[in-house]
A and B are shown apart, each in its own frame.
Chain A
Amino acid sequence: MPAGAPGRARELDDELGSQAASIILPSSREVLARVRNYLLAQNDRADGRNNVYKDLRSGTSGNVVTISLGPLFDKGPTDSHFYLTSNSRLSFGITLREANGRCSLIAYRFHLHLPEGSASSFYRFDLNPRPHDTPLREPRCHLHPGSDDMRLPCPPLSPLGVLDRIFLVIEPTLSS
């Protein structure tokens, strides 16, 4: 292993952690409403095949709130996934801490399973709740480009920021 690689990874991981901490979101109700509205708008483009109202769920324990859609693990298509026009399917979970009408990000996972024949079988955007012991292999915030074992660091994004990359960057390359 090249000298300094772990150190560089740790420095980057600290930076990713700071960036995650700097993302301040509105109240959990408003985050939920905005995610819902975003998906509804995308659902209209997908010919309304998804039932966002039924599938988007929220949970709470103390001041920690989860917002989720679809299964926790993608093991195949289900009715509760969000299906895009390309036939990709999306499931996600977002965990927030709420205080004084504002939220901070604790963790998220956005799993986009791509249609048959795609160069990659899935992309998954993960934000871990805390750093890993080996940030070189598992950065705090990372993208899985089609492999559970490969994690490439990527900047933490707001939930709508991740959805923008899924719907506006990845999906257009699949639909064309």
Chain B
Amino acid sequence: MPDFIAEPAFEIGRRLEMRGLDSGAWSVALKPAQDPDGALEDFAMDLAAKFDVPVRQVCATGRPVGQLRADLHAPDDDTVLITGLDRFDLDHWRALDINRSGLARRGPIVLWLSAEGLTGLCRWAPNLKSFIGGSMFVVAGHGGMMTAEERQQRLEQLTAHYRMSGEEVIRRAESGALPTEPQFVEWLVLLGRGDLV
């Protein structure tokens, strides 16, 4: 497993924003081994939500370099996620690499790669790799999830404030006698009982 930084999509998006969405930045997003297709959709959606504009996906599989070049320049200022690179062999990577100037554009490019695809890039595309540098990130699950510790702290706050245990909350919810304050539904979620909401 690569030892690159793990970041959720919005943090990768944050980096691209810091660089400037017209800076032509290149980066690699390393997809998770499990459910890569679902992860791609989630990643594209999270990135689009960060920028508040759609992120265009371009599949490189079976696409001649000239066609890929044309795709990247129509338009040339949006954010593009290039997929379909994992099966690229030496010839394909070399063709992309040789034509790096032709692929350059104003908007950011994110290459969606598996560990195997990344190996191909690093082995056979030194010009592209130079453009990317250390901007290679393992895509982490969408950021902002409450940690176990945070959950526990909040459960303790609720118990202290209402002088009620979690079991009591569950009993009341099951009998339909839960108070109507919004904190109580949050309490049920913290207890893992969203089914009672």
- Tell me the A residues contacting B by CB distance below 8 Å: 27, 29-30, 32-34, 36-37, 53, 56-66, 68, 71-73, 93, 95, 97, 106-109, 126-132, 138
Task: Flag if A37 contacts B197 (CB, 8 Å).
Answer: no
Q: A66-B189, A131-B180 are in contact. Are A32 and B144 (CB under 8 A)?
A: yes
Q: Given contacts A33-B46, A36-B144, is CB(A72)–CB(B157) below 8 Å?
A: yes
> Least Cβ distance of A57 to chain B in Å?
5
**Cβ of B42: which chain A residues have Cβ within 8 Å of it?**
29
30 pairs from A and B in contact (CB 8 Å cutoff): A29-B42, A32-B144, A33-B10, A33-B46, A36-B10, A36-B144, A37-B49, A37-B52, A53-B10, A53-B11, A57-B146, A59-B145, A59-B146, A59-B151, A59-B186, A61-B188, A61-B194, A66-B190, A72-B186, A73-B183, A93-B183, A93-B186, A95-B182, A95-B197, A97-B197, A109-B181, A126-B182, A129-B182, A129-B185, A129-B197
Q: Contact partner of B45 among A30, A36, A126, A129, CB < 8 A?
A: A30
Report the Cα distance A53→B186, complex, angstroms: 20
Q: How far is the CA of A59 from the CA of B157 in the complex (A)?
A: 16
List the A side residues contacting B14 at CB < 8 Å.
53
A62 to chain B, nearest CB (A): 4
Q: Is B192 an interface residue (CB 8 A)?
A: yes
Chain B 165-197 near chain A by CB (<8 Å), digits 1 or 0: 000000000000000111111101111111101
User: Do B180 and A129 have beta carbons less than 8 Å apart?
Assistant: yes
CB-based contact B194/A60 at 8 Å: yes
B194 to chain A, nearest CB (A): 3
Q: Shortest distance in angstroms between B146's beta carbon and chain A's nearest beta carbon?
A: 5
Specify which of A63, A95, A106, A127 lies most central, judged by the most chain B CB atoms within 10 Å of its CB: A95
Find out whether the CB atom of B49 lies under 8 angstroms from the CB atom of A107: no
Indicate which residue in B10, B52, B144, B182 contacts A107 across the interface (CB closer than 8 Å): B182
Partner among B50, B181, B183, B184 whose Cβ is within 8 Å of the Cβ of A33: B50
CB-contact partner of A106 in B143, B146, B150, B185, under 8 A: B185
Centre residue among B150, B182, B189, B192 by max chain A CB count within 10 A: B182
The residue of chain A having its C-beta at the shortest distance from the C-beta of B161 within the complex is: A73
Chain B's closest residue to A71 (CB) is B157
Contacts of B40 in A (CB 8 A): none
Residues of A within 8 A of B46 (CB): 29, 33
